[in-house]
Amino acid sequence: MGELKDKAAGTANDLAGKVKEGIGAATNNPELEAEGEAQQLKGKTQKLAGDVKGAFGDKV
C-alpha cells in the first residue's frame, strides 16, 4: 500500500474502533470494547506506516 492508502485505512480503522469501543462501553460489553481498542491500535499502526512511507518516498 502507498502512503495515502495506509493513512486512509488507518483513519477508517481508528474511527471504527472508537465506535465499537463506545458501543461496548454503553452496552456493558467488554469484548466489543476490547475489540474497538484493538482496532484503534491497528489504525494508529497503519497511519504510522503511511508516515514512514511518506518520509522515505514509498520505498519502504
pLDDT, tens digit (0-9, with 9 covering 90-100), for 45-58: 999 999 998 888 75
Cα(24)–Cα(33) distance, rounded to whole angstroms?
Answer: 4
Q: Are 51 and 1 in contact (CB under 8 A)?
A: no
Per-residue model confidence (pLDDT) at position 57: 77
Task: Sketch the domain layout of the chain as residue ranges.
Answer: 1-56
Q: What pLDDT does 58 receive?
A: 55
Tell me, what's the pLDDT at 11? 95
16-37 pLDDT, tens digit each: 999 999 999 999 999 999 999 9
pLDDT for 60: 54
Tell me the whole-structure pTM to 2 decimals.
0.84
3-state percent helix, strand, coil for the chain, nearest multiple of 5: 85, 0, 15
Residue 54 to residue 43: CA distance in whole angstroms: 16
